[in-house]
C-alpha cells in the first residue's frame, strides 16, 4: 500500500454559489454508533476513522461510548475538556493531532469558540464564530494536550458544544500541530483597512507561528471573514500562482464566516487570499503544518463536482462522488482526501454527512446549511474501496 495517506483537493464543492455565508442551522442528532478501529496506512500519514461523537453537552444525547454526554449548556468565559485518545478509533498512544468537527447549538449571543491543546495557555484565536439562532460547525485540526484531551473555550453567552472525531495524525513526519497562532489580522496588520472587491493580500507562513522556515509543503489554517459589507467569498491559494476558480470561505453582512483551510504554500512561503466583492476584514490563524514527504500531498485547488450542472440533491438521499483519479488525486494509494464542501440553494434546513462509500452512514454531520445561505466546511474524508465518497 502506498504511504501517501492524505491528499488535498483543496476545493470540491457540492454546489457553490458566488458567495453567501459560512454559518448555518442544523437538526439535532441524537445517537452515535461505535466506530471500528482503522489501521494507519503503512504506519504513517493521516488515519481517517468512521466519524464518531466524542462529546455532546445536550441532555439526552449520546456519544460513541456514553462518556462526556449531557453535561449541560456551556456558560460564558468557560473552558471544558474532551478526551480524544482511546475513543472513536483514536489510539491511546502515538497520536500528535486529531481532526474534529466542532459544532455549536443554541448560542445565545454572538461570540466565539477556541479549540486548543489541554493544559496549555489559551491562544488569542478563534475556530467557530456562531450567532444566535444558528447551528454552526467547523473542522479543526488540533494537537492533543495533557491527559489525551483538547480544550474548548466559549467566549460569550451560553451554547451547547458537540465534538465529532474524523481522524488522527501520528507522531512523526506527517503533520505537526501547533498552538494556534494568529498570522494576520487586517484590523491590525492591514492598518485597519478592509480588503476591497477583487483585493488580494499575501500572508507569510514559513517561519511564523511555530511553522519552520523550510521543509513545509502545506499548512492548516483557520480563515475568518469579519464585517463584510456584502455577500462575498474568499479564495486561499499559493502566493505567486494563478487564482483558482474556487472558494474557501463564504461570508455575508452581519455574519462572521470561518473555515479551516489546508493550503499549499507559494515558493515564497506565503499564501494569498482573494476577496470577491464588497469589503471585508480577514483573519488568518495557523493550526499546524505538513512537512515535505509522503504523508500529505497538496494539489492546486480545482473544482471536481458541481451539481448545478445536473440537478440538485433531494431529501433523504445519498449520492456517490468519485474522487480518486481526478483533480490531481492519484487513481490508487490514497487513504483520504481533504476537500471543501459547499451547499447552496437548499430549500429547507438540513444537514449533510460524508462517509466512505460501502460503509454505513454515521449519525454525524459535516455541513449544516439553511435556506438562502451558502454554507461551506472543510471535510477530510476517508475514501471507499473504489476511491469514492458518499454524501
Residue 294, in any domain of the structure: yes
Question: How does 124-141 read in b/e, with b if 16+ C-beta sit within 10 Å?
Answer: ebbbbbbbeebbbbbbbb
Per-residue model confidence (pLDDT) at position 10: 32
Pick 23 or 183 by higher pLDDT. Answer: 183
| Number of domains the chain contains | 1
- Secondary structure E strands in 1-135: 6-9, 47-56, 78-83, 95-105, 113-117
Lowest mean pLDDT among 6-20, 70-84, 156-170, 247-261: 6-20
pLDDT at position 27, please? 26
Over residues 247-293, the pLDDT tens digits come to 888 888 888 888 888 888 998 999 999 999 999 999 999 989 988 87
Residue 105 forms part of a structural domain: yes
The reported pLDDT for the residue numbered 294 is 67
pLDDT, tens digit, 9 for 90 and up, residues 87-109: 999 999 999 999 998 999 999 99
Q: Please give the Cα distance from 17 to 312 (Å, whole number).
A: 13
The answer to whether the beta carbons of residues 48 and 381 sit under 8 Å apart is yes
Q: Which domain holds residue 262?
A: 6-390
Q: What percent of the chain has pLDDT over 70?
A: 88
Residue 76 has a pLDDT of 97
pLDDT at 166 over 90: no
**Does 50 reside within a domain?**
yes
**Rounded (5°) CA angle 333-297-11:** 100
Mean pLDDT of 210-228: 91
More confident residue, 56 or 297: 56
Higher pLDDT, residue 28 or 214: 214
**pLDDT grade, residue 6 (50/70/90)?**
low
Do the domain assignments include residue 285?
yes
Q: Decide if 184 is inside a domain.
A: yes
Banded model confidence at residue 29, pLDDT cuts 50, 70, 90: very low
The confidence band for 40, taking pLDDT boundaries of 50, 70 and 90, is: very low
Model confidence band, residue 11 (pLDDT cutoffs 50, 70, 90): very low
Residue 61 lies in a domain: yes
Mean local confidence (pLDDT), 170-191: 88
On average, the pLDDT of the chain sits at 83
Is the model's pLDDT at 380 over the cut of 50?
Answer: yes
**Does any domain span residue 1?**
no
The stretch 207-232 carries a mean pLDDT of 92
Helix (H, G, I), strand (E, B) or coil at 319: coil
Average pLDDT of span 72-89: 96
Amino acid at each position: 500500500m502506498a504511504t501517501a495517506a492524505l491528499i488535498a483537493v483543496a476545493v470540491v464543492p457540492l454546489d457553490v454559489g458566488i458567495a453567501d455565508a459560512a454559518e448555518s442551522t442544523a437538526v439535532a442528532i441524537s445517537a452515535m454508533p461505535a466506530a471500528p478501529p482503522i489501521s494507519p496506512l503503512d504506519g504513517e500519514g493521516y488515519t481517517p476513522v468512521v466519524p464518531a461523537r466524542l462529546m455532546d453537552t445536550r441532555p439526552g444525547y449520546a456519544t460513541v461510548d456514553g462518556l462526556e454526554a449531557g453535561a449541560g449548556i456551556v456558560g460564558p468565559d468557560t473552558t471544558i475538556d474532551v478526551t480524544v485518545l482511546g475513543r472513536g478509533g483514536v489510539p491511546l498512544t502515538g497520536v500528535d493531532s486529531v481532526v474534529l468537527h466542532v459544532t455549536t447549538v443554541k448560542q445565545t449571543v454572538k461570540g466565539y469558540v477556541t479549540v486548543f491543546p489541554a493544559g496549555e495557555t489559551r491562544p488569542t484565536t478563534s475556530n467557530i464564530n456562531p450567532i444566535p439562532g444558528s447551528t454552526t460547525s467547523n473542522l479543526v485540526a488540533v494537537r492533543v494536550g495533557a491527559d489525551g484531551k483538547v480544550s474548548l473555550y466559549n467566549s460569550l453567552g451560553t451554547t451547547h458544544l458537540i465534538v465529532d472525531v474524523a481522524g488522527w495524525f501520528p507522531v512523526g513526519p506527517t503533520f505537526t500541530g501547533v498552538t494556534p497562532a494568529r498570522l494576520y489580522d487586517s484590523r491590525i496588520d492591514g492598518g485597519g483597512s478592509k480588503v476591497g472587491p477583487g483585493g488580494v493580500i499575501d500572508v507569510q507562513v514559513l517561519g511564523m507561528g511555530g511553522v519552520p522556515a523550510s521543509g513545509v509543503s502545506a499548512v492548516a489554517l483557520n480563515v475568518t471573514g469579519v464585517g463584510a459589507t456584502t455577500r462575498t467569498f474568499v479564495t486561499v491559494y499559493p502566493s505567486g500562482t494563478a487564482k483558482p476558480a474556487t472558494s474557501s470561505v463564504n461570508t455575508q453582512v452581519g455574519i462572521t464566516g470561518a473555515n479551516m483551510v489546508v493550503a499549499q504554500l507559494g515558493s515564497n512561503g506565503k499564501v494569498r487570499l482573494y476577496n470577491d466583492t464588497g469589503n471585508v476584514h480577514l483573519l488568518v490563524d495557523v493550526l499546524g503544518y505538513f512537512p515535505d514527504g509522503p504523508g500529505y500531498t497538496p494539489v492546486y485547488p480545482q473544482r471536481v463536482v458541481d451539481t448545478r450542472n445536473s440537478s440538485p440533491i433531494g431529501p433523504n438521499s445519498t449520492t456517490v462522488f468519485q474522487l480518486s483519479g481526478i483533480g490531481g488525486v492519484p487513481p490508487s494509494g490514497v487513504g483520504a482526501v481533504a476537500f471543501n464542501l459547499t451547499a447552496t440553494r437548499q430549500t429547507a434546513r438540513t444537514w449533510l454527512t460524508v462517509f466512505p462509500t460501502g460503509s454505513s452512514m454515521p449519525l454525524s454531520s459535516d455541513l449544516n446549511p439553511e435556506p438562502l445561505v451558502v454554507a461551506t466546511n472543510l471535510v477530510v474524508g476517508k475514501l471507499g474501496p473504489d476511491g469514492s465518497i458518499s454524501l
